Amino acid sequence: MELLKCVNINKSFGNKKILEDINLTVPRGKIIGLLGQNGTGKSTLIKIINDLLTATGGEVLVNGEKIGVESKKIISYLPERTYLDKSMTVDKVIEFFTDFYDNFDADKARRLLADLKLDTSLKLSKMSKGMQEKVQLVLVMSRKAELYILDEPLGGVDPATRDYILDTILSNFNEGASVIISTHLISDIERILDEVIFIDKGRIILHSDCDELRTKENASIDEIFRRMFRC
Amino acid sequence: MLGKLLKYDFKSILKTIVVFYILASFFAILTRVFFSIENSLVMNIIGQICQGAMISMMFSIIINTLMRSWVGFKQNLYGDESYLTHTLPVTKTALYISKVLSALVTLCLGVIVIVADLFIAYYSEEKIELIKNFILPIAENLEFSISFLIFLFILVVFVQISNIMQCGFTGIILGHRMNNAKIGFSVLYGFIVYMASQTLILAITFLVAVFNESFMNLFVTAEMVSLDVLKTALYMALISYAFILVIVYFINVKLFEKGVNVD
Amino acid sequence: MSFSFDNNIPIYIQLAEKLKIEIISGKLTTGERLLSVRDLALNYKVNPNTMQRALTELEEIGLIFTERTNGKFVTEDKGLVLKYKKQYADSLVNNFFKSMSDIGFSKQDAINFLKEEE
């Protein structure tokens, strides 16, 4: 059974088509880059998989079942925005995650937050946006999930933070799980990817193994992407 | 899981309302204190002011409970926080029920606080006697006890407010389903649903009146209606509001389960 | 530890190369037990699948072997390590001669040049 399968996903807002006939299969144990320029439908697809948007057509299957309580138990999702109740302290948020996610490892989260030298009795509203994003990443990666979906985790961060984020992802994702990372900053992450999906104007135009692609085109993923979408 | 949802929803709504509980109670006590000092015009005036403040706080309790429940509903299910809410491993129905129940419980609490504050501000044996003497003939005619009559009356008000609240939720859900997250539309839809529910209640009442002549007098005469009719009207109001509450509940859950499109 | 990779070449090939150098240089001694795939991947900041692939490459040429329960080890065959060391050195020297010939040195000139430089 495939971990994630999208069958003919379509999404439009009014007359505007955002996604068109997305067919996609994600196996276990892979790190997959969902690559595309801004506004090409990456986030829309991710939101549909996470039940935040309702597809106009087609269906999403997680472990063969439609999205719902079971899929949410095994998918750990990092949105591209800060989404926690900012009046909560970090301790409270940890409590919240412990309450709702059976697979949340609170000790691990505390350990990772201690590495950041973060005072967990602090309210989120008292922290910088960058720190809030790190807290979110730590929470998401502290779940023993089967599928991690990270939407633009590298958007607008400095190189040091970028290294921290990639490190945290690599060293914490559950063994045997898959990771989907959406980004338009390809050169930063291509070395950790197994597979890439190029998405443009709401369609998947390429889905390939990274190393095969490099060998075939004799170029980096970043370069191949640039060639395809030369503006 | 519903219990856990309730815990957080209840906390988050109560957090913003509790200040009004405290203020209303505070002014209730002051009202009592200043009114109890006799033969002083100044104290009486201060008492009047405190009384005014207390009453406005009581209205604030109800209005803010409603507003908070709507704002919370929107933020939590369609705003930034929805990214967490909708990815929790719970059903959409549970999310909705939790929102409704937490708001209802807060509303209940608000009513209790208001009643308690009224006691604090005005309680005296003579006044209770006075009220008793006023209500007793009605209650006796209806074959109710006084406390049951009062309870029934509060209950009618309560379900009425609950209906307003739920219609607001419908408005928010519809406002977002139409793919325009504009608040104006949500308010408009909420108002339309509320008017529709009121019309439905009126229709039910009228339907009953067609078959019940004395009840018909409610509509066609300006005369004082018999107390027997009042009894029927009270029960009718309760039953039809409960009916509307359930209908709107199912509509909302159905709409909600069809999926959302968050901002 | 951080390593730079050339994104134009499959990462696993570059990783295999790096590990091979560790072995032939003696940093990883014969018979030594390797870290787990996951830890190795973390050290090199790459995907565990990629590391696995690199190790498979090395296993195919016999430089490492797997004991079913204990993990992966560097080969105990010193001769084999020496063979790859020589092979690697050969390729380095060949590259050197090639580069020198590109700028007009004959093989003998290049050797003489090396001696002078020493």
Quick: pLDDT tens for A62-94. 999 999 999 999 999 999 989 999 999 999 999
pLDDT at B210: 80
- Average of per-residue pLDDT values in chain A: 92
Q: Given B8, B89, B260, which is nearest A52 (Cβ)?
A: B260
C5 touches A: beta carbon within 8 Å: yes
| Domains recognised in chain C with CATH numbers | 11-76 (1.10.10.10), 80-117 (no CATH)
A-facing residues of B in 69-88 (CB < 8 A) are 80-84, 86-88
Q: Say which amino acid occupies C57.
A: E
pLDDT score, position A205: 92
Q: At A198, is the pLDDT very low, low, confident or very high (cuts 50, 70, 90)?
A: very high
**Do A54 and B260 lie within an 8 Å CB cutoff?**
yes
What distance in Å separates the CA atoms of residue B158 and residue B105, rounded to the nearest whole number? 11
Q: Choose the weakest-confidence range: A119-128, A135-144, A222-231, B56-65.
A: A222-231
Contact criterion met (CB < 8 Å) for A192 and C42: no
Q: Is B1 exposed, middle or buried (0-12, 13-18, 19+ CB in 10 A)?
A: middle
Cβ neighbours of C38 in A, within 8 Å: 175
Show Cβ contacts of residue C101 under 8 Å, excluding neighbours closer than 6 positions: C107, C110
Whether residue A139 has pLDDT greater than 50: yes
Of the candidates C8, C13, C46, the beta carbon closest to that of A218 is on C8
How large is the angle between the packed helices B183-211 and B213-220, nearest 10 degrees? Answer: 130
Measured distance CA(B208)–CA(B234) in Å, rounded: 13
In a mutagenesis test of the B interface, which of A50, A52, A67, A81 is the best target, namely the one with the most B β-carbons within 10 Å?
A: A52
Distance between B146 CA and the closest CA of chain A, angstroms: 45
For chain B, which ranges sit under pLDDT 70?
179-181, 214-215, 217-227
> Residue C63: helix, strand or coil by DSSP?
coil
Q: What is the pLDDT of residues A182-191, one digit of tens each?
A: 998 888 888 8
Taking each helix axis from N to C end, the angle separating A129-141 and A106-115, rounded to the nearest 10 degrees, works out to: 140
How far does A45 lie from chain C, in Å, by closest CA? Answer: 24
Give the single-character DSSP code of B224: P
pLDDT digits (tens, 9 = 90+) for A93-109: 999 999 999 999 999 99
Select the residue from B83, B86, B98 to test the A interface by mutation, using most A Cβ atoms within 10 A: B83
Closest CA to B118 of B64, B38, B160, B57: B57
Contact assessment for residue A12 and residue A18, using Cβ atoms and an 8 Å cutoff? yes
Task: Give the separation between CA C13 and CA C50, rounded to whole angstroms.
Answer: 9
The chain A residues in contact with chain C (CB within 8 A) are 29-31, 166-167, 170-171, 175, 187, 190-194, 210-211, 214-215, 218-223
**pLDDT value at position A177?**
93
Contact assessment for residue A55 and residue A9, using Cβ atoms and an 8 Å cutoff: yes
CB pair distance less than 8 Å for A83 and B81: yes
Q: Name the strand (E) or helix (H) holding A33.
A: strand A31-35
* Touching chains A and B? (3+ Cβ pairs < 8 A): yes
- Cβ atoms of B248 and B197 within 8 Å: the answer is yes
Q: Alpha carbon B50 to chain centroid distance?
A: 24
User: CB within 8 A of B93, min separation 6: which ones?
Assistant: B253, B256, B257
**Rounded Cα gap, residues A185 and A150, in angstroms:** 13
Strand partners, A60: A6
User: Considering only residues 96 to 115 of chain A, which have any Cβ-Cβ distance to chain B shorter than 8 Å?
Assistant: 96, 99-101
Residue of B76, B61, B68 lying closest to B20 (CA atoms): B61
Q: Name all domains of chain A by residue range, CATH numbers in brackets.
A: 4-228 (3.40.50.300)
Domain range summary for chain B, segments of one domain joined by +? 124-263
Angle value at C-alpha A62, between B77 and B84, nearest 5 degrees: 20
- Give the tokens for residue A187: 């050169």
CA distance A114 to C33: 32
Q: What is the pLDDT of residues A154-170, one digit of tens each?
A: 887 888 888 889 888 98
A191, C11: Cβ pair inside 8 Å? yes
Please report which residue ranges of chain A form alpha helices under DSSP H.
42-49, 69-74, 90-100, 106-115, 129-141, 159-172, 186-189, 210-217, 221-228
| Nearest-angstrom CA–CA distance, A220 and A215 | 9
Chains B and C lie in contact, requiring 3 or more CB pairs less than 8 Å apart: no
- One digit per residue, the tens of pLDDT, for chain C of length 118 reads 456 788 888 889 999 999 999 999 988 888 888 988 888 988 888 888 899 999 999 999 999 998 887 888 999 888 999 999 999 999 999 999 999 999 998 888 888 888 888 7
- Please name the helix (run of DSSP H) or strand (run of DSSP E) that holds residue B143, with its range, or none: none
Residue C74 to residue C59: CA distance in whole angstroms: 9
**Hey, what amino acid is at B21?**
Y
CA distance B98 to chain A (A): 14
How far does the CA of residue A125 sit from the closest CA of chain C (Å)? 33
What is residue C1's predicted lDDT score, i.e. its pLDDT? 43
Chains in contact with A, where contact requires at least 3 CB pairs less than 8 Å apart = B, C
Distance CA C47, CA A24 (A): 21
B129 token code pair: 């006697």
Chain B residue numbers with beta carbons less than 8 Å from the beta carbon of A53 are 259-262
Direct distance between the N- and C-terminal alpha carbons of chain A, in angstroms, rounded to an integer: 40
* Tokens, residue B94: 């549970």
Q: Which of A171, A196, A214 to mutate to test the interface with C (most CBs of C within 10 A)?
A: A214
For A44, name the nearest residue in chain B, comparing CA atoms only: B261
pLDDT of residue B221: 64
